[in-house]
Amino acid sequence: MSQLPQDLRGLGAAVLLAVASTASADFAPTLTLRHQRTYGQFHRETLPRPDGISFDPRRKELYVATPGAHQIVILNQNLAPVFRFQHHVRDEQGNLALGEPVSAVVGERGEIFVADRASNRLDVADFRGRSLRSIDIAPLIDAEPPVRPGRMDRDRDGNLYVVVETAQLVLVLSPEGTLLRKIGSDGPAPEGMRMLVDVAVGPDGAVSLLDGTAEPSVRVFDAEGKYLTSFGEHSDKPEGLHMPAGVAFDAAGRIWVVDSVAHEVKAFTRDGTVLAIAGGMGTADGRFYFPSDVACGTDDALYVAERGGDRLQAFHVETVRDAASGAAP
């Protein structure tokens, strides 16, 4: 990433859909995004190479994992910084070392669950990042270390959904760390995964697993882990995905996916109908530079992290009709 593409700030701060190269002439979006604000800037130390992001609806805060900086960065819903802390792990000799956190999710009691690719354990920390306890992943899947936890999400009951990349499955854990069930497997599609990269839990308990390389890319399961449907072929069609990197459900049950290679975010219905396409490669507001994850907030807020852009952008989701009429968000 030695040279950035030409900045496109002349297009203005409002985003709009169907500007991406994959959008065909006959694609008619029903949703659009309006850019609200940006936190971070390319090659600055404010938010270096963010990976996983999550939104805590109780505190209305965002938790951003930055593995290269060994940090968890906490922002409020307006992207104002609240706190940040370095995450440490134990090495093979039991000594503390800087970690590489990839995901952080807040529990019911305010504890912060941190997944770190340098550890076999989930760390449970307080609001200042001080470790309270840990959950060993390897025994839960009867595997020998290394077993690396990846991206996470939680449901309305406080249960944790943890990607285990080495096993190509998601562990559903109680807040105390008890294994409740497993979703997915290492095997053929549609239930099996090739490169499991993310998990999201919907408002009705449905679970979406995201595969970074296999087709279909998006797999949907019910709350008990039963396979329901899938979508997302590798194509230049509006509904196509090239290298999906992050997935989230919004309050309406729509599925949002960021595509790192296409530099886009897309919204889908559960049956794979595409509702929105936004972004395109660039560093102006509303454009993306290798996006890494997406999170949905309250009041139709949407957040996109950019690993290449070293930043986080906030948007407001609107219907195309409201956007055309100039309705206030």
**78-126, pLDDT tens digit by residue?**
999 999 999 999 877 788 999 999 999 999 999 999 999 999 999 999 9
Query: What are the two backbone dihedrals, phi and then psi, of residue 253, each rounded to the nearest 5 degrees?
Result: 85, 5
Contacts of 115 (CB under 8 A, 6+ apart): 52, 65, 101, 102, 103, 104, 122, 149, 150, 151, 152, 162, 163
Q: Which CATH architecture has domain 41-263+290-310?
A: 6 Propeller (2.120)
Taking residues 35-47, report their average pLDDT: 93
Residue 13 has pLDDT above 80, yes or no: no
CA 252, 293, 23, 220 torsion-angle sign: negative
177: which DSSP letter? -
Least Cα distance to 240 among 210, 221, 222, 216 occurs for: 216
| CA dist., res. 40 & res. 32, Å (int) | 23
Q: CB of 76 within 8 A of CB of 39? A: no
Q: Any idea how long the chain is?
A: 329
Domain ranges of the chain: 41-263+290-310
Q: Is the peptide bond between 149 and the residue preceding it cis, with omega within 30 degrees of 0?
A: no
For 138-163, letters b (16+ CB in 10 Å) and e give bebeeeeeebbbbbbbbbeeebbbbb
For residue 136, give both structure tokens: 């060993």
Q: What local confidence, expressed as pLDDT, does residue 90 receive? A: 86
> Does position 16 have pLDDT exceeding 80, yes or no?
no
Is the pLDDT score of 19 beyond 90? Answer: no
- Report the distance separating Cα 262 and Cα 308, nearest Å: 13
Task: Pick left, alpha or beta for residue 252 (phi over 0 → left; psi -120 to 50 → alpha; otherwise beta).
Answer: alpha
**What is the pTM for the complete model shown?**
0.91
